[in-house]
Structure 1
Amino acid sequence: MKMKKFAALAAATVMSVSALAAASAFGVFATTDAGTNNIVIKDSDTNRVYKAYQIFDQTTAINTISWGNGINGDALLSNLKTSGLNTYMSQFDSAESAADVVKIISDADHWTKEDTAKFAKAAAGCILNDNAVTATEANGEYTINVPNAGYYLVVDATENNGVDKANSALILNVSGTTDVTPKRTKPTLTKQIKHNEYNTWGDVGDNAIGDDVEFKITTTIPSDVSAYDKYTYTVRDQLSEGFTFNDNLTYKYYDADGQEITSVTVDPNKTVGDDSSTTDYKESFFVTFDIKELVKNYPTVAKIETYYSAKLNENAKVAVTAHDSVNNNPNTAYLTYSNNPQDTTGKEKGETPKVTVYDWTFSLVGKKVDEKDEPLAGAKFQLQDRNGAALKLVDISDGENKNVFRLAIGNEAGAIDTIITDATGEFTIKGIDDKTTYKLVETEAPAQYNRADSYEFEFSTSYYPANKLLSIKMLDGTASGTSGSTVKVINQKGGSLPTTGGIGTQIFYGVGGAIVLGAGVLLIVKKRAKND
């Protein structure tokens, strides 16, 4: 074969692989000038490993092509005849030499970009690692100085296990010094929590204990996974002990323009597994997607949104004062994904950074005192919603923490609706939402004291960043509210008339009768004195 014939082969392969773009795990390169045999890869990503293998040699004779020193030619011939290429590839059955193979793959009228990808994979299984030429890195470029002109297979041999990177698929580019740009394709993941008061998605939320908290995980699909025999990725979600997973998952598929393709609710017992890879979280789950199959069913799919909810439970951490970066309830998600087109199993080695969102809940601290700021026992309180309905509470006091309650979850056994203060006059109610109106109502005052007015309030909070409570105050009708989460309820002694029929009324009548009787006696005495 003459040089121009070899150049035609290169040009034909350029067309097919260029159209293929990132779909192939390998780029097949031809060099025709023995004096300038560099292959230069433009890549700013550091510490990558690129290797070149000579598949066909064009230096031994100008009119012949032989197997290069980077390939086991006999093995490649066998591989091409059994590797499952398309029906046109049956012509490989009669191929006996490198020249025969070149004749087939240079037939631009029949050879396709898909054939190029398959040929590259077939060749990759027959390379001779001892004869690889490894690139050197400098100034955002990787230079492979190949010793001889010829046809080369360039492999991205970087080890990307457990990191958010994928191996490259390279585009064919033919020239004396071949400049190529790697094409790497990998997915992304973001996670959000719904802020229930504003109905918006973000990285922070706040709820009452017992609320169902909504989460959304968004994952993108690589633009082209045709280079992979199998491509899977797994959404891995980790819930802290303050959440109980509700076993409800909905998936929404979107195209590149953001248009919803379909929405599917799937039985979690068949699609969700416990993630045993972590011990840091009480509950965790994973969902695995077969991306090749998904793209087959929905060719335009570009993004998946995974929705679920979890209940804020009795183990939730509760904030009291700012600044606080400890008493929050994190929820973390990340993605593991196929990242090496050379791995025919589609094993997941890539891993996105973990994304964490935070949910907050709060405490109300009550202090019952008299007008001298002394604590009062025997006062009865209810925490009511804005409509006056008493909220159910559970006593969670222990040996060190007395008079501590939290909001009940559903129809929880042992729940109460009234708190009675002890000699300390203090009590705490945990698990309160912000931007929600509550009323602290004294339903009965201690003996000889008047009931205090109801205290209506809502918490107002701010965060920066999402895992740090920057401020908390109680909006209670005053101009700027009250800083913190503590309310002091003051009782005054006396000051109101006793009710009719009570013991106080009988005393009142008795004293009045004595006064009248005394006046009568005094009048009689005065009359007698006058007569005398």
Structure 2
Amino acid sequence: MKKVWKAGIAGLAALSIGAAGFIGTTAAFAAPVDKVITVPAVSAGQTAHTFNVYQIFTGDISADGNTLSNIQWGAQGSEAGSAADAVTALKALTGSDAAKAKEIAKYVKKGADGKFVAPLKTVSSGNTITVPSGYYLLEDTTASTNGDANNIYIVTVNGDTTIAPKNKTVTSSKNVKDKNDTEGTTTDWQDGADHDINDEIEYRLVFNLPANYSDFDSYMLNFVDDMGYGLTYKAGSSKIKVGSGTATAIDDPTNVTGQNKPGSTTDKYTSSYAHATNTNLKGTVWKWSFANTKEDSFFANAANSAVVELTYTATLNENAVLGSAGNPNKFHAEYTNDFYNEDSYGTTPDDVNKVFTYELSVSKVDKDKNPLYNGAGFTLYKKTTTAATNNTLPEDAPAGSIAHDNFVWKPTGTEQRVDATENGQAAEGKTNIAHFKGIDDGTYLLRETFTPDGYNTAEDVIFTLTANHETTSADPTLNSVTTNNTEVTMVEGSMNIATSVVNNKGSELPETGGMGTTMLYVAGGAIVLIAGIGMAVALRRRQA
């Protein structure tokens, strides 16, 4: 028969030493008997666990296997007073499961550093150990990286015993909002989005406190955010909301890149995002720290399983990655995972968001579709929801905006020009392409805003860009970028877009001696001839 009390998410069973089978008074007893402790193997994808096994007491087992007697201090027992007095104290324990577990842990011998001495044995998932009958504490020492708690198990070994793997106790997630300027819409929280360069992007970090949060005397919580080099944190934008409370402004996070992680002198925070060739472009690890939420006013009303939401804003900057690679940003939480050991920390798995942004490449060509290097300039405008009645710009329209189709269209950036050569033909190092970097979904107008001498201004190109990216995913991907204009097409591989604009030369005026002049001469001669005939007829009439 097995008896197991577990501290942690499931809590301890009603911890009564009498119920545990200590100190029988009527049964016959045999000397300590070896019994087996089993930790089952984990399923695929689950975390294997390792336990330190501490022998607090040994005891003789009754013939029926239900009771222990002749209790003595075990190999790791504290030996603080008599074993009989310790058992009496344990039988009198009251309060929560966590409180009981903490008291039981006091009966394990500790070293000068205040930590448990070396265990009697260790056992890991898929294995068994044999121990004498007695009273044991099993400490889960598994490094927690998936939201688990490091539980302790209190075991009366008067029969073979199986230890169930621990359960996940906390979760965390990261989300972002997507905005469409043309439609004036903003999505709910999701995992993927697209934005223009210089857009301010809303992010949300979520952490669920453990179901036994009230059992902790002290609780550390850190929000750790690894931000790619295409994103810039906006100072003063952080807010926190705990449970049903209201969102409240908090201090900005600390840049902890290169600093030690909690409880370590060697493991440091390192960004996963660095440019492949430009060593100046690196990601930044930010951390919002709450050393002890039990003493933090923001967590004054925190309850078991309460949801903690931390929001902030970041700007998509000029270093943003264009196209399908996206601009990633990931988050995990660090938390106290042992209510009887405040120095034991766990982490949740990383949750990744991505923000995509795109590039429009405009190729300048002649009427035969050959590259044209004439220095033409283009400006790209994005349609907004602001009305421009009678195509008149309102006074508060963004600088450089135009009115078209009774709406305000704002410039996405400055005018971009193709390279110019003396003869308009290719030259080394020259390009016939203008680039508009960092645009997102919406409706656009491409206008030639600088026309070289001798050329006609090209017609406007209007198109709507639509992006299809994952919104719920552990690692969002960009599936496609399309437009409603056949002249603007997706670039295979990068998922950016491109178009060609034709520049035609203006109509040439006729030159002296040319066909046009000859025609004028002929026409003029005809007029003189007709006039002469008219005069002759008039004279004859007078003479008649």
The answer to whether TM tops 0.5 is yes
1:431 aligns with 2:428: no
Describe the SS at the equivalent of 1:452.
coil
Check 1:522–1:425 CA distance in 2 against 1; reply closer, same or farther (3 A cut): farther
Partners in 1 of 2:488 and 2:37 — Cα distance? 69
1:187: Cα distance to partner? 2.4
Check 1:107–1:373 CA distance in 2 against 1; reply closer, same or farther (3 A cut): closer
2:284 is aligned to 283
1:227: Cα distance to partner? 5.8
Describe the SS at the equivalent of 1:104.
helix
1:234-282 Cα shifts (integer Å, max 9, x gaps): 111111111110121122223xxxxx343222132xx645443225443
1:475 aligns with 2:484: yes
1:359 aligns with 2:361: no
Describe the SS at the equivalent of 1:222.
coil
Partners in 2 of 1:419 and 1:514 — Cα distance? 45
Partners in 1 of 2:140 and 2:338 — Cα distance? 9
Partners in 2 of 1:203 and 1:21 — Cα distance? 29
1:179: Cα distance to partner? 4.2
Partners in 2 of 1:371 and 1:223 — Cα distance? 71
Aligned 8 A contact 2:359 2:437 in 1: yes
1:461 aligns with 2:449: no
The answer for unaligned runs of 5 or more in structure 1 is 1-6, 78-96, 255-259, 394-405, 409-415
Partners in 1 of 2:369 and 2:7 — Cα distance? 82
Describe the SS at the equivalent of 2:106.
helix
Aligned positions of 1:222-241 closer than 5 A: 222-225=210-213, 228-241=216-229
Equivalenced residues, count? 447
Q: Percent of counterpart pairs with the same letter?
A: 25
1:354: Cα distance to partner? 2.1
The answer for unaligned runs of 5 or more in structure 2 is 23-28, 181-185, 259-268, 275-281, 385-390, 401-410, 425-430, 492-496, 540-544
Check 1:527–1:330 CA distance in 2 against 1; reply closer, same or farther (3 A cut): same
1:168 aligns with 2:151: yes
2:502 is aligned to 490
1:340: Cα distance to partner? 4.1
Aligned positions of 1:5-20 closer than 5 A: none
2:278 is aligned to none
1:338 is aligned to 336
Check 1:380–1:113 CA distance in 2 against 1; reply closer, same or farther (3 A cut): closer
Aligned 8 A contact 2:239 2:248 in 1: yes
Partners in 2 of 1:136 and 1:161 — Cα distance? 15
1:191-229 Cα shifts (integer Å, max 9, x gaps): 122122351332221111110111112222221146655
Partners in 2 of 1:135 and 1:527 — Cα distance? 127
1:104 aligns with 2:89: yes
Aligned 8 A contact 1:316 1:329 in 2: yes
Aligned 8 A contact 2:213 2:305 in 1: no
The AA in structure 2 aligned to 1:372 is D
1:385 aligns with 2:373: no
Describe the SS at the equivalent of 2:247.
strand
Q: Which has the higher helix share?
A: 1
1:216 aligns with 2:216: no
1:250 aligns with 2:231: no
1:99: Cα distance to partner? 1.9
Partners in 1 of 2:498 and 2:48 — Cα distance? 55
1:154: Cα distance to partner? 1.7
Partners in 2 of 1:98 and 1:225 — Cα distance? 32
Partners in 1 of 2:231 and 2:97 — Cα distance? 50
The AA in structure 2 aligned to 1:242 is G
Partners in 2 of 1:391 and 1:527 — Cα distance? 68
Check 1:368–1:273 CA distance in 2 against 1; reply closer, same or farther (3 A cut): closer
Describe the SS at the equivalent of 2:136.
strand
Aligned 8 A contact 2:171 2:348 in 1: yes
Aligned positions of 1:317-336 closer than 5 A: 317-319=321-323, 324-325=324-325, 328-336=326-334
Check 1:298–1:228 CA distance in 2 against 1; reply closer, same or farther (3 A cut): closer
Partners in 2 of 1:317 and 1:19 — Cα distance? 47
Match of 2:309 among 305, 308, 324: 305
Partners in 2 of 1:111 and 1:455 — Cα distance? 74
The AA in structure 1 aligned to 2:285 is S
Partners in 2 of 1:343 and 1:222 — Cα distance? 15
The AA in structure 2 aligned to 1:121 is A
1:515: Cα distance to partner? 6.5
Partners in 1 of 2:437 and 2:83 — Cα distance? 78
Check 1:126–1:386 CA distance in 2 against 1; reply closer, same or farther (3 A cut): closer
Match of 1:191 among 174, 179, 185: 174
1:230: Cα distance to partner? 3.0
Partners in 2 of 1:47 and 1:357 — Cα distance? 30
Check 1:65–1:285 CA distance in 2 against 1; reply closer, same or farther (3 A cut): same
Aligned 8 A contact 1:215 1:308 in 2: yes
The AA in structure 1 aligned to 2:57 is I
Partners in 1 of 2:88 and 2:222 — Cα distance? 43
Describe the SS at the equivalent of 2:177.
strand
1:118: Cα distance to partner? 2.9
Partners in 2 of 1:483 and 1:168 — Cα distance? 54
1:455: Cα distance to partner? 0.9
Describe the SS at the equivalent of 1:49.
strand
Check 1:468–1:100 CA distance in 2 against 1; reply closer, same or farther (3 A cut): closer
TM-score between the two structures when normalised by the length of structure 2: 0.67
1:153 is aligned to 136
Aligned 8 A contact 2:53 2:121 in 1: yes
